[in-house]
Amino acid sequence: MHCALYDAGRCRSCQWLEKPYPQQLNEKQSLLEQLLAQQAVSEWCPPVTSPEQGFRNKAKMVVSGSVERPVLGMLSREGDAVDLCACPLYPASFAPVFAVLKPFIARAGLTPYNVARKRGELKFLLLTESTQGGMMLRFVLRSSAKLEQLRAALPWLQQQLPQLTVISANIQPVHMAILEGDEEIALTPDQALAESFNNVPLFIRPQSFFQTNPQVAAALYATARDWVAQLDVHSMWDLFCGVGGFGLHCATPEMQLTGIEISAEAIACARQSAQQLGLDKVSFAALDSTQFATGRDQVPQLVLVNPPRRGIGAELCDYLSQMAPDYILYSSCNPQSMAQDIARLSDYDVSRVQLFDMFPHTAHFEVLTLLTKRGQGRATQRSS
């Protein structure tokens, strides 16, 4: 992928950009194999690749410059504004939105926040696109002082960009590099962006986490569904479930599924999807996943975990080792913490591992690993 911003030294976020893409994949796969070298992996599945550009469904733009000439992008280490509207990671559909947002900032009188002076109102613009065509736009403001001006100017923006189906304002008053605050103010009647992966309806709300690479995320969910379908399981937990992507893919009308996620916004999305799918044996709750699990005296046949970068940790590993579900399906964005957790789960065999290249041109990637309780036998393979 060619990037003029990288060549000019303006942005170095894609630290592996100078490596050919096949080399990137090989290095990631080698690292994963090294991390699991102490495990007897029964099956290594081939890595799932990503498009090299235009794959991101979300832009997190720092707003700087002046109200008449705003800059959307980031601040360099020296504090200089860097325009990232031409970043090749974004799909072509983002550029015309950025082009309209720049004059809109002036029209709405949203003075960009100046970090050095601690003045101004508009801190970030967060833009998310669904594969179904709609978009969600969030204005991150220092306070609600300009909220009425923003509301008054919105009809013009919506006329220019009818694809903006969800718009909100987030209030982030703290003078720190924190992306968003707790308070979210809806500016459109609809506050859930409709998405669909593999014919499974999903929803994205303003403060819920959602994968940023839709093509690879869809492959990840589909793979989890295929692996689970090959197992004789009828009960399942989906821990750290986010908007429910894994559980909703794996659930059947007969499957008893409980999804747990700390974010109430994400759980609202998951419940909306389950209702649309007509899954009446599926439930979702906004709770701490570790506290939920360790407070139960019974476990389902399958426990799926998709934790943040820190992994599931010693407490949950000890609990799972003690309760011994038949299978653990582990999705991770941090293979180092995953490997540490798997080492703690010493009564489980590693049946399958697959790398998903969710973040090309960086050292980061996603992994899906199937763990089988020793003595349970290998995962049932369907004949092809």
Report the catalytic residues: 333
The residues, any chain, with a CB within 8 Å of residue 377's CB and separated by 6 or more, are none
Is 242 in contact with 266 (CB distance < 8 Å)? yes
> Which residues, 6+ apart, have CB-to-CB distance to 18 below 8 Å?
none
Longest dimension (CA), the chain: 68
CB-based contact 331:306 (threshold 8 Å): yes
How many CB atoms sit inside 10 A of residue 112's CB?
22
Question: What does R_g of the chain's alpha carbons equal in angstroms?
Answer: 22
